Structure 1
Amino acid sequence: MDAEVENSTERRARSTAALAEKPDGVVEAIAGIAQVTPAEILEILPEGAAVIAAKEEFAAIWTDLTAWGKVLFIVHTEDIVLEAEGSLPEGSEGHGWFNIHGDSPIGGHIKKDNCASVTFVDRAFHGRRSCSVWFMNAKGSAMFKVFVRRDENRELIGEQLKKFEALRDSYKTQ
């Protein structure tokens, strides 16, 4: 067995073991334990739990997300998990950035060209269903994530959940 295949096999075995240890845990933490990328953990989730869209769908997916109302926007690095709740503003491209500005606490500039894919994630998180859209970079990490929000009873908001499922399902056959 050549070293590349062996490495891939070992990485998958570590990923599978770490996910089995905490199947509803934080993906980045599971990836850290397995010494793999978050993308490698998403790849081994049960069928349908992670649906991947091509990077060329970035703008179309973003536009759809702007109609969801208030969402939970998360940037998760090794140093911080930043959470912001608000509506996603329309975006426009300029000077190599995808610029988002509007009447929302969520705003700024996204290096759209760093997006390698967009993954729709539907899995248990600490015992509850969690649905999110992950904009992934080529290093296998999330640039940022957009989550379906929860109501006062900690249940997923039905209208957003329907929009998530419809958008995700439109990419299942691709």
Structure 2
Amino acid sequence: MSALAQPDDERRGRALAVLAEKPDGVVEALAAKADVTPAEILEILPQGAAVTAAKDAFGDIWSDMTSWGEILFIVHTEDIVLEAEGSLPPGSEGHGWFNIHGDSPIGGHIRKDNCTSITFVDRQFHGRRSCSVWFMNGKGSAMFKVFVRRDEQRELIGEQLAKFEALRNRYAGA
């Protein structure tokens, strides 16, 4: 029986077990170990650790994050974890893509229609608080993530953290 064909309670049980074993681990690694999707791991995080917004909020959330200053942009696949630091340029839609260009190392084209939800994640990661925005696809994986950056002392940058929290809180009750 394939993992996706298994009853939900079996999948949830495996996810809960691996999360209990390593609650501050890499979500994708936990998901792989439990044979579930990253989205299923995010769903079982403690209350408030993962706040999800509808896909229709893509443009508004992106636009807000363009004011955050330099962020950490991550694309995590089974083959690579690509990290880029820079500010998010404004985007525009055209030819079926959300196009981002500007004076930043972060640029390219996003298949916005593949985004099924956006999740604000606020959890411990290797013993430290980590805050990020995950743009999720229909397969239950992150298309990409935007992280609040850290300063020289490895603390979350206060101004950016405040912007993350304000944006997340706009969607917390939705």
Q: Same fold (TM over 0.5)?
A: yes
| 1:136 CA drift (Å) | 0.2
Could you list the per-position Cα deviations for residues 73-101 of structure 1 after superposition, in whole angstroms to 9, with x for gaps in the alignment? 00000000000000000000000000000
Stretches of 4+ aligned residues off by more than 4 angstroms: none
Q: TM-score, normalised by structure 1?
A: 0.97
1:118, 1:82 → 2: CA distance? Answer: 19
Equivalent in the alignment of 2:42: 42
Equivalent in the alignment of 2:86: 86
Structure 1 position 142 matched with structure 2 position 139: no
Could you list the per-position Cα deviations for residues 96-130 of structure 1 after superposition, in whole angstroms to 9, with x for gaps in the alignment? 00000000000000000000000000000000000
- Summarize the alignment of residues 56-75 of structure 1 with structure 2, pairs less than 5 Å apart: 56-75=56-75
CA RMSD of aligned residues (A): 1.1
Structure 1 position 124 matched with structure 2 position 124: yes
Equivalent in the alignment of 2:31: 31
Q: TM-score, normalised by structure 2?
A: 0.97
Structure 2 unmatched ranges of 5 or more? none
Tell me the amino acid that sits aligned with residue 7 of structure 2: N
Tell me the amino acid that sits aligned with residue 152 of structure 1: E
2:79, 2:61 → 1: CA distance? Answer: 27
Q: Percent same amino acid at aligned positions?
A: 78
Equivalent in the alignment of 2:96: 96
| 1:6 CA drift (Å) | 6.5
CA gap 1:94/1:5 in 2 versus in 1, 3 angstroms: closer
2:32, 2:139 → 1: CA distance? Answer: 14
Could you list the per-position Cα deviations for residues 25-74 of structure 1 after superposition, in whole angstroms to 9, with x for gaps in the alignment? 00000000000000000000000000000000000000000000000000
Equivalent in the alignment of 1:166: 166
Structure 1 unmatched ranges of 5 or more? none
2:15, 2:141 → 1: CA distance? Answer: 15
